[in-house]
Amino acid sequence: MVPILAFVAVFVFLLIHITPVDPAAIIAGDYATLDQIAAIRTQLKLDRPLLEQFTTWVSRLARADLGVSIFSQQPVARLIGQRLEPTLILALMATSMAVIIAVPLGVIAAYCGGGVFDRLVIGFSVLGFSTPIFLVGYFLVYVFALGLDWFPAQGYSPLSAGLGFCFRSLLLPALAVALLYVALITRVTRAVCIEVLNQDYVRTAQAKGLEPWVVLWRHVLPNAAVPIATVVGIGIAAMLGGVVVTETVFNVPGLGRLTADAIVRRDYPIIQGLMLLFTGIYVGVNLLIDLSYVFFDPRICY
Amino acid sequence: MSTNALSPPSVWGVGRRRLGKSGLLRLRPTILIAGTALLGIAILALLAPALLSDPRILDPIHRLEPPGASHVFGTDNLGRSVFVRTVYGTRVSLAIGLMVAFATTIVGVTIGLVAGFQRLLDGLIMRAMDGIMAIPGVLLAIALMSLFGSSLTNVVVAISVPEVPRMARLVRSTVLTLRELPFMEAAIATGSRLPRLLFRHLLPNVVAPVLVQATFVFASAMIVEAILSFLGAGTPPDVPSWGGMLAEARRFLQRAPWMIAFPGIALASLVLLVNLLGDALRDTLDPRLARQFRARHVQ
């Protein structure tokens, strides 16, 4: 993990230097004056020697200093802190919804291997992979918010306004984010469970007269847990990308909105900070999942 | 964190499978149907300038008209035909999808072959690939776009960079398995030089998994392109793209849902077709590919 993070830090640092054109000019925009371009170059310290830039970058990174936004002149870390709450809740809701929906779907599809339900689940999963997240988002808004008026169409109620309101405002976005994730987890769960169902110990369990759900819950699921946990971890990268889009569709003032606004304002320090943050989350969660294998499979020890 | 947990090494794609074209089609009608449909869409997209009016024509009097006789898919907030713009959007999506698939294949296969054959470079290259893979793909593409500025070529580069490591990994793992096989030993023993080993013996054997992976890259590139254009970091605003259309339509969701429905459904159908083609190709070319595959192509 440490070499990966170190490489990511170097790679992200170098990104701004590998551009074929002057990055300061691109960030400043098409109508910038030479002075504005020079100001951005100074602010991003692009006029300093490469090695000096790199040491400053590493030492600031070590202090969790992500630089200063070009547009608002505020520290990026503070801007991220202000927007963290909705995104965190949205990501947690989407992940838990995805796992709660996908794992039973996959297990039951595997159990009915080849049957109608199995085919439906496979079809749904291919559809889930192919449907762009904004289409899902717009559809949910149109039907459940504008049509049926069950949920607010836009915006976000902070946690301080009450847990219920907060969940209600994020339920549709979380569903939209969860769809791709559900498709991914269902597919892998089904594939792994089919393999486990062919094992001798499952036949033994069935032969001694256990109820099907006991077989699935006690014998199949624990043995399929490690690959399922792995795919939940891999899916987080896709989910974080989905969050950015979904927050724009639903106007949720989270990190995704921050990204979208930063794109429009060409605020590279914010984009860079968010990229580092999301990478850190992704790598960190996957580390936790790797460690959780010990819990799922007693044969694994680190 | 062990990198192996992120993507388990695989042993498939081994051994050449001889498949004539007729064999492919006989085995999977899906390939025939999806392939024909895609070809039809591609031809329609190519011929769009000859068949349709300019997608930029403004007609403010007929703005936000629902689908009807004069405008099949209705008109948008500036009175432009949603049908014409949707067809033109196909051009952008297909072109970027194809170019990304092509670029990813060339670069990924080269890196994979080198890593699989040069043990000295292998560690270094694969750590670098792991590093790029650790960055969520959409965010990396956004960062690249905000540095490069918006143009068609830059979109292709920005989407390809996060896709390359998966392709490289796939080729490398296939090469590592292949080089242990007797036919490679025989080739080495008879004194084949490195270029001959690579191009005559290794390359034909990695074609099947690479082709399948390229199809999935194609599909995912079209979605990422739409996401980038949707967020304003994609194709230039004057090029009609589905992501851009969906972003413009945001404010008119209640008044003009057709502005979202048609480009959205077009994108979903095109991606679905390519995914179906990929699934069918995979099942035909190598049944062993079937498992675990999805996990590695989703970013």
Q: Are A96 and A158 in contact (CB under 8 A)?
A: no
Of B103 and A78, the one with more pLDDT: B103
What pLDDT band is residue A192 in, cutting at 50, 70 and 90? confident
Grade residue B103 by pLDDT with cuts at 50, 70 and 90.
very high
Averaged pLDDT of chain A: 82
Question: Can you tell me the distance from the alpha carbon of B224 to that of B247, in angstroms, rounded to the nearest whole number?
Answer: 14
Is there a contact between A129 and B250 if contact means CB atoms under 8 Å apart?
no
Contact A11 B132 (CB under 8 A): yes
Task: Tell me if A72 is assigned to some domain.
Answer: no
Burial class for B92, CB neighbours closer than 10 Å (0-12, 13-18, 19+): buried
Residues A34, A140, single domain; the answer is no
Residues of B in contact with A135 (CB under 8 A): 246, 260, 264-265, 267-268
> Is the minimum CB–CB distance between B232 and chain A shorter than 8 Å?
yes
Q: Would you say residue A68 lies in a domain?
A: no
State the pLDDT at residue B102: 94
The yes-or-no verdict on residue B13 having pLDDT over 50 is no
ipTM, two decimals: 0.83
Contact A187 B294 (CB under 8 A): yes
Q: What percent of chain B has pLDDT over 70?
A: 79
- A95 and A217, same domain (yes or no): yes
Q: Do B143 and A293 touch (CB under 8 A)?
A: no
Query: Could you tell me if A52 and A193 lie in one domain?
Result: no
* Interchain pair A26, B147: CB under 8 A: yes
> How far is residue A182's CA from residue B8's CA, in Å, rounded to a whole number?
21
Least confident of A80-89, B58-67, B254-263: B58-67
Range 171-230 of B in CB contact (< 8 A) with A: 219, 223, 226-227, 230
Closest among A26, A20, A60 to A41, alpha carbons compared: A26
Which of A67-76, A200-209, B28-37 shows the lowest mean pLDDT across its residues? A67-76
Query: What would the mean pLDDT of A44-69 be, rounded to a whole number?
Result: 77
Residue partners of A34: CB distance under 8 A and separation at least 6:
none
Asked if residue A175 and residue A205 are part of one domain, the reply reads: yes
Would you state the pLDDT for residue B100? 94
- The model's confidence at residue B26, banded by pLDDT at 50, 70 and 90, is low
Asked if A286's CB is within 8 angstroms of B5's CB, the reply is yes
Q: How many CB atoms lie within 10 A of CB B118?
A: 12
Under an 8 A CB cutoff, do A132 and B227 touch?
Answer: yes
Residue A144, domain CATH? 1.10.3720.10
Choose between A94 and A47: higher pLDDT.
A94
Q: Which residues of B, range 115-154, sit inside 8 Å of A by Cβ? A: 127-128, 130-132, 134-140, 142-149
Is residue A90 domain-resident? yes
Task: Let me know whether A193 and A163 are in one domain.
Answer: yes
Express each pLDDT in B266-280 by its tens digit.
Answer: 888 899 899 888 888
Question: Is-contact B193 B1, C-beta < 8 A?
Answer: no
Q: How confident is the model at residue B9 (pLDDT cuts 50, 70, 90)?
A: very low
- Closest to B292 (Cα-Cα) out of A201, A195, A170, A6: A195
* Structural domain span for residue A38: 2-62
Say whether residue B253 is in contact with chain A using an 8 A CB cutoff. Answer: yes
| SS3 at position B75 | strand
Residues A30 and A164 in one domain: no
Q: What is chain B's mean pLDDT, rounded?
A: 78
CA dist., res. A22 & res. A264, Å (int): 19
Q: Where are the alpha helices (DSSP H) in chain B?
A: 3-6, 21-27, 29-51, 82-117, 119-133, 137-148, 152-178, 182-189, 194-196, 203-231, 242-248, 258-285, 293-297
Residue range A243-259: mean pLDDT, rounded: 85
A67: in domain = no
Residue A9 located in a structural domain: yes
Question: Is residue A237 located within the same domain as residue A119?
Answer: yes
State whether A15 and B143 contact (CB < 8 Å): yes
Between A5 and B168, where is the model more confident?
Answer: B168
Dmax (CA) of chain B: 77
The residue that leads in pLDDT, B86 or B3, is: B86
Contact B146 A260 (CB under 8 A): no
Q: In this structure, are residues A245 and A134 in contact, taking their beta carbons and an 8 Å threshold?
A: yes
Query: Is-contact B271 A132, C-beta < 8 A?
Result: yes
What is the residue whose two structure tokens read 């079809």?
A123
Residues A203 and A56 both lie in one domain? no
Is residue A69 in a domain?
A: no
Is there a domain that residue A76 lies in?
no
**Residue of chain A with shortest Cα separation from B147:** A23
Among A127, A83, A95, CA closest to A259: A83
Looking at CA atoms only, how far is residue B224 from chain A in angstroms?
A: 9
Q: How many CB atoms lie within 10 A of CB A18?
A: 11
Residue in A7, A142, A238 nearest the CB of B131: A7
State residue B63's pLDDT score.
Answer: 67
Domain boundary among A62, A91, A111: A62
For residues B179-198, give the mean pLDDT: 84
Least trusted range by pLDDT, from B55-59, B142-146, B173-177, B185-189: B55-59
d(Cα B289, Cα B299) in Å, to the nearest integer?
Answer: 18
Rounded mean pLDDT, B196-224? 87
Compute the average pLDDT of residues A19-27: 70
- Count how many domains chain A has: 2
Does A41 lie in the same domain as A154? no
Q: How far is B293 from chain A (nearest CA, A)?
A: 9
d(CA A253, CA A261): 10
**Distance (Å, whole) CA B280 – CA B151:** 34
Place of tokens 């992200």: A12
What Rg, from alpha-carbon coordinates, does chain A have?
Answer: 23
In chain B, what residues touch A241 (CB-CB under 8 Å)? 136-139, 227, 299
Place of tokens 């000295």: B120
Q: Is the pLDDT of residue A132 over 60?
A: yes
Chain A closest CA to B8's CA: distance in Å? 10
For residues B159 and B100, the answer to whether their CB atoms sit within 8 Å is: yes
- Cα separation, A252 vs B204, in Å, equals 49
With CA atoms as reference, the chain A residue closest to B1 would be: A1
One domain, residues A243 and A94:
yes
Mean pLDDT of B246-252: 79
Chain-chain contact of A3 with B127 (C-beta, under 8 angstroms) = yes
Structure tokens at B295: 């996990």
- Given a cut of 60, is residue B291 above it in pLDDT? no
Whether B271 sits inside 8 A of A16 (CB atoms) is no
User: Are the C-beta atoms of residues B31 and B277 closer than 8 Å to each other?
Assistant: yes
Looking at the domain assignment, is residue A185 inside a domain?
Answer: yes
Residue of B1, B271, B275 lying closest to A286 (CB–CB): B1
Which is higher by pLDDT, B160 or B60?
B160
DSSP code, position A124? H
Task: Clarify whether residues A87 and A48 are in a common domain.
Answer: no
| φ, ψ dihedrals at A253, nearest 5° | -80, 65
Give the model's pLDDT for residue B165. 92
Q: Which backbone phi and psi does A15 adopt, to 5 degrees? A: -50, -50
Does any CB of chain A come closer than 8 Å to the CB of residue B264?
Answer: yes
Q: What is the mean pLDDT of residues B251-266?
A: 80
Encoded tokens for B25: 């089609």
Give the mean model confidence (pLDDT) for residues A189-199. Answer: 85
- Specify the range with the lowest mean pLDDT, choosing from A69-78, A132-141, A245-254, B12-21: B12-21
Segment B36-53 shows an average pLDDT of 81
Q: Judge if A120 and A52 occupy the same domain.
A: no
Asked whether the beta carbons of residue A263 and residue B233 sit closer than 8 angstroms, the reply is yes
d(CA B223, CA B151) in angstroms, rounded, equals: 17
Selection from A57, A53, A70 nearest residue A266 by Cα: A70
Mutate to test the interface with B, among A16, A22, A138, A192 (most CBs of B within 10 A): A138
Among B9-18, B82-91, B154-163, top mean pLDDT goes to B154-163
B136 with A282: Cβ contact below 8 A = yes
Question: Searching chain A, which residue's CA lies closest to the CA of residue B273?
Answer: A130
pLDDT band (50, 70, 90) for residue B298 = very low
Contact B146 A262 (CB under 8 A): yes
